[in-house]
Amino acid sequence: MNTNNNNNCPSFEELSAYFDSELDQFSLEYAHIQNCDKCQRELDAYTKVSVMLKEELSNSVPDDFSAHMINSLKRRRKRDSSVDVSPFGFFFKVAALLVLSGIIVVALIPHKSNIVQQQVSDTKVAPLIFLDKLTPSGSYTHSQLPPSRRSAAGASDSIDITNMMQVSTGQMGDENLYTSSENKDSVAVIHPKVKQVWSVDSLKHAEMQFAQFAEVAKFATNNSSITMTLKLSKKNLAQFVRNCKEDGFRLLSPSQPQPEQTHFAGNKNDSVLYTATFVQSE
């Protein structure tokens, strides 16, 4: 490249147009830019901005965005085509809320959790075990995850599912879920910051899950989703995730803790910054 540093560099507008391939190739400016170090350095800076901008924006897209959007839109199309006019609707909802909140309050009282688990489901729930100083034995690959949890398995939310088995559960529809084997070696890592997305039948129901936590840091809601952030111990988070599943919520994100996972590395009292988004399912 010729070194052609002079004061005849074109304006930043021309340079920017060149950068976007919008400058006339036969113009004098075009020829100048191609052969000027100073202009080339400017272009490098534009490239950096461009890369960084794209990166930051694509990182801003929520986990499983498309899937949630499709669901929300289906719901909305249904809602738009049928309006609920039942005079009992409101009272029914209030009654349902009261019943459900009773169940959840009991479910979150630790020493009574066994009784509640029997009420809610007959399936045996393996106890949660935290193993100090245990290093996980491997890491997941994207293809190991079910599609609904695949896109959320970004670099920031890495999980360990090496020893988890894929099982088909009749109750949860045709969706395959991952569960831990009974093997004690299947240890997962809960990261200090965890983000998860849940699909729920009723946002009200999800809202009640939050009501248990006085220390919810952030609480954002709209028609189709609710998001909260809170700090809690690894043990309580693992329990929270299981309670959610027992309530029929469906976890879409791959990050640990997963409700089926029973063995975790680290101290159960370590705190985790947990962000959960609950989206209304169809």
Among 5, 28, 37, 53, binds other proteins (CB under 8 A): 53
In the complex, the smallest distance separating the C-beta of residue 60 from other proteins, rounded to whole angstroms, is 5
Position 156 contacts other proteins (CB under 8 A): no
Position 41 contacts other proteins (CB under 8 A): no
Q: CB-based contacts of 65: which residues, under 8 Å, 6+ apart? A: none
Query: Torsions phi, psi of 278, nearest 5?
Result: -110, 120
The option from other proteins, Zn ion, none interacting with 93 (CB < 5 to 8 A, set by class) reads none
Q: Which residues of 52-69 are buried (b: 16+ CB within 10 A; e: fewer)?
A: eeeeeeeeeeebbeebbe
Q: Which is nearer to other proteins, 89 or 147 (CB)?
A: 147
Residue reference for tokens 């960084």: 52
Longest dimension (CA), the chain: 82
Among 4, 27, 62, 270, binds other proteins (CB under 8 A): 62
Helix (H, G, I), strand (E, B) or coil at 4: coil
The option from other proteins, Zn ion, none interacting with 118 (CB < 5 to 8 A, set by class) reads none
Position 115 contacts other proteins (CB under 8 A): no
Q: Measuring CA to CA, how many Å separate 64 from each of 70, 103, 195, 210?
A: 10, 30, 12, 22
Terminus-to-terminus CA distance in the chain, angstroms?
Answer: 60
Position 198 contacts other proteins (CB under 8 A): no
In the complex, the smallest distance separating the C-beta of residue 144 from Zn ion, rounded to whole angstroms, is 52
In the complex, the smallest distance separating the C-beta of residue 54 from other proteins, rounded to whole angstroms, is 6
Count the helix, strand and coil residues of the chain and give each as a percent rounded to the nearest 5.
40, 20, 40
For the packed helices 89-108 and 234-246, what is the interaxial angle rounded to 10 degrees?
A: 140
Residues that bind Zn ion (CB under 5 A): 9, 36, 38-39
- Mask for 71-110, x = binds other proteins (CB under 8 A): -xx--xx--x------------------------------
Among 5, 8, 13, 98, binds other proteins (CB under 8 A): 13
Q: Which is nearer to Zn ion, 9 or 165 (CB)?
A: 9
Q: Running DSSP on this structure, what letter comes out for residue 226?
A: E
Position 220 contacts other proteins (CB under 8 A): yes
Q: Which is nearer to other proteins, 2 or 222 (CB)?
A: 222
